[in-house]
Structure 1
Amino acid sequence: MNIRLQLIILLVLAIGGLSFLNWEALTAVTTVSFGFTETQAPLGLILLSLMTILGVFFLAYILWLKGTVILDYHRHTKELKHQRELADKAEASRFTELREFLIQQHKESQEVLLNKIDDLEEHLYSRVDDSDNTTAAFLGQIEDQLRQPVIPQLEVRPSASKNDTW
């Protein structure tokens, strides 16, 4: 129990004990003035009744206030839950958009890579064709040289003198 509740209980017990111990004084009839009239009534009992009514009103006010706080708490909890769901949906939407963006980027980079591979392949095929053509040309020249009759050419040298040594 918190200290306030203990203090209230102690105060109620003190009022109840004093009222019980002094019941004759509380019920003693005296002249009571209400401002516009006077009457004969037990003043202590009237004050005790008013204090009890005041306590009941305070208790009702506290219960009403607590109920209002609980209802506000539940309303805020529902609102927070709704906001959390909206945030989760927004986050899921962002993840979906990010996924779509990454897929699109992957497709674009894959297309660029495939285009580069195609360009390299075309370049390689053209180089292979050039190499084949060059090789065929060389082979053709060699064949032409092999098909031509070889006529030995004799070299005429001046006669060698005895003094020339080679």
Structure 2
Amino acid sequence: MKIRTILLILFILLIAGFVALNFEQILQPSTLNFGFSEVQAPMGLVLLGMLALVLVVFLLALVYYQTVHLMEVRRITREVAEQRRLADQAEASRFTELRQYLQTEMQATAARERDLSDKMHQKIEQLQTILTRVIEQSGNGLEASIGELEDRLERQLPNRQPPN
């Protein structure tokens, strides 16, 4: 129990003990003035009744405020649960959008990669064709130069036989 609850119970028990010890004095009649009239009644009993009435009013107020507080807590709990659900949905939606975006980007990257690969293969084939042509032309030019040199040598040395 909380210390406040223990002190409240202790205070009520002290008042009850005081009333029990002085109950005869509480029941003695006296003249009471209510402002508009005077009445003969036991003063202690009237004060004890007023104390009981105040206690009941405070207890009712406590129950009312506690009920209002519980209702507010339940309303806030429902709102928090709804906000959490909405946040979870938004997060799931963001993940879905991110997944779709990544898939789209991966497909676009794969398409670019295929295009670049195709272009590179075409370029390599072109370079290979050009290189083959250059090699053939160089070979032909070299053969022509060698043929020309052989012709010159044969003209300068006409009696010499080519080795077999």
Q: Deviations over 1:131-153 (max 9, x none)?
A: 454566678886xx99xxx9x54
Separation in 2 of the partners of 1:2 and 1:87? 38
Task: Please report the TM-score for the alignment, with normalisation by the length of structure 1.
Answer: 0.79
- What does residue 89 of structure 1 align with? 89
AA partner of residue 55 (structure 1)? L
- What does residue 107 of structure 2 align with? 107
Separation in 1 of the partners of 2:16 and 2:158? 158
Identical-residue share of aligned pairs (%): 31
CA RMSD across the alignment:
2.5
Equivalent residues in 2 for 1:15-164, closer than 5 Å? 15-134=15-134, 153=155, 155=157
Find the residue that maps to 1:85 and give its secondary structure: helix
- What does residue 160 of structure 1 align with? none
Instruction: Give the direction of change, closer, same or farther, for the CA distance of 1:156–1:134 in structure 2 (3 Å limit).
Output: closer
For structure 2, which runs of at least 5 residues remain unmatched after alignment? Answer: 160-164
What's the CA shift for 1:155?
1.9
Q: Deviations over 1:44-70 (max 9, x none)?
A: 101101100110110111111111111
Separation in 2 of the partners of 1:100 and 1:44? 82
What's the CA shift for 1:119?
0.5
What's the CA shift for 1:128?
3.0
Q: Deviations over 1:106-135 (max 9, x none)?
A: 122111111110111111222333345456
Task: Please report the TM-score for the alignment, with normalisation by the length of structure 2.
Answer: 0.80
- Count of residues paired in the alignment: 152
